[in-house]
Amino acid sequence: MRCLILIPTYNEAATLAGLLSTLSALRPVVESSALDVLIIDDNSPDGTADVVRAHEGFGDWLSVLVRTSKEGLGSAYRAGSSAALAGDYDAVVQMDADGSHPAAEIPAMLALLGTHDVVLGSRYVRGGATVNWPLRRRVLSWCANAYARRMLGLSTRDATAGFRAWRTEALIDAGVLRTTSNGYGFQIENTWRCERLGLRVVEHPITFTERTAGVSKMSPAVAAEAAALVLRWRIGERAMPSPARSKALVGPRG
């Protein structure tokens, strides 16, 4: 299996080198014919892209796609997903750059792709946890999950999970390149699409550890975008008879 790890970055120079070392050490132990890493950087003023270019893996298993300006997490993942499709990878992993997502779980998540289309690194199933997350972030996450699950009738416990492994065909089937969220609503949008389209989704427990360097890009504007989109998707679904819903999500093929 050829796997590409997609990591969106904006001002992550303080955290990225540590994650790249961890991934470099993981590569030989993963049963995969390729475990490559693509950083999608939005022209970070702190020189994040230079950290990538200075890494010994650069030009081999590590590459960087530098965009002209900050366009959001969802937009970065769409660009990375296009690169994965063009590069003929069998699987894609999505993860944050700040060390919050335990890279050590990647082999187990890739193994689960043998029987599933999408594996969510989940904080909210038995065995999952969050560490050092401030109360306000725990409350925000709890509210975002409760709201998305209720509004869209989702059964996924961690609908906003940012650590995911996908079979590449599932990225196409779920219409990830057709998603419209630019910010963190991207994760909810994909959970919703996967459930509606009947993809085989499994939640794998992970421990999410709050970053120890750099700053979060979560903002009230990002949260508001996600909340408004969830409302729009719900209204759109209510206006549509259920057989038409999945067709509308996927759109015309090719």
Ligand X SMILES: Nc1nc2c(ncn2[C@@H]2O[C@H](COP(=O)(O)OP(=O)(O)O)[C@@H](O)[C@H]2O)c(=O)[nH]1
Q: What distance lies between CA 102 and its chain's CA centroid?
A: 13
Task: Tell me the residue number closest to ligand X, measured at CB.
Answer: 216
97 binds, among ligand X, Mg ion, none (CB under 5 to 8 A by kind): ligand X
8 binds, among ligand X, Mg ion, none (CB under 5 to 8 A by kind): ligand X
Given a contact cutoff of 8 angstroms between Cβ atoms, the answer to whether 222 and 183 are in contact is: yes
Least distance (Å) between residue 135 CB and ligand X:
14
**What is the DSSP code (8-state) at residue 104?**
G
Residue 64: left (phi > 0), alpha (psi -120 to 50), or beta?
Answer: beta
Residues that bind ligand X (CB under 6 A): 8-10, 12, 40-42, 70-73, 76, 96-98, 100, 216-218
φ/ψ of 94, rounded to 5, equals -110, 130
Question: CA torsion, points 20, 26, 30, 36, in degrees to nearest 10?
Answer: 20
Considering the rule CB under 5 A, would residue 12 count as an interface residue with Mg ion? no
CB of 76 or CB of 201, closer to ligand X: 76
61 binds, among ligand X, Mg ion, none (CB under 5 to 8 A by kind): none
Least distance (Å) between residue 147 CB and Mg ion:
20
CB of 8 or CB of 205, closer to Mg ion: 8
Residue where the block lists tokens 């909810």: 188
Least distance (Å) between residue 6 CB and Mg ion:
15
**From the list 9, 15, 100, 181, which residue makes contact with Mg ion (rule: CB under 5 A)?**
100
Least distance (Å) between residue 250 CB and ligand X:
26
40 binds, among ligand X, Mg ion, none (CB under 5 to 8 A by kind): ligand X
Q: What distance lies between CA 53 and its chain's CA centroid?
A: 23
Least distance (Å) between residue 48 CB and ligand X:
8
Distance in angstroms (rounded) separating the CA atoms of residues 243 and 246: 7
Residues 6+ apart with CB under 8 A from 74: 179, 180, 181, 182, 183, 184, 185, 186, 189
Least distance (Å) between residue 101 CB and Mg ion:
8
Burial of 150 (0-12, 13-18, 19+ CB in 10 A): exposed
Given a contact cutoff of 8 angstroms between Cβ atoms, the answer to whether 52 and 24 are in contact is: no
73 binds, among Mg ion, ligand X, none (CB under 5 to 8 A by kind): ligand X
**From the list 36, 42, 71, 98, which residue makes contact with Mg ion (rule: CB under 5 A)?**
98
Least distance (Å) between residue 19 CB and ligand X:
9
Question: Which residues form the interface with Mg ion (CB under 5 A)?
Answer: 96, 98, 100
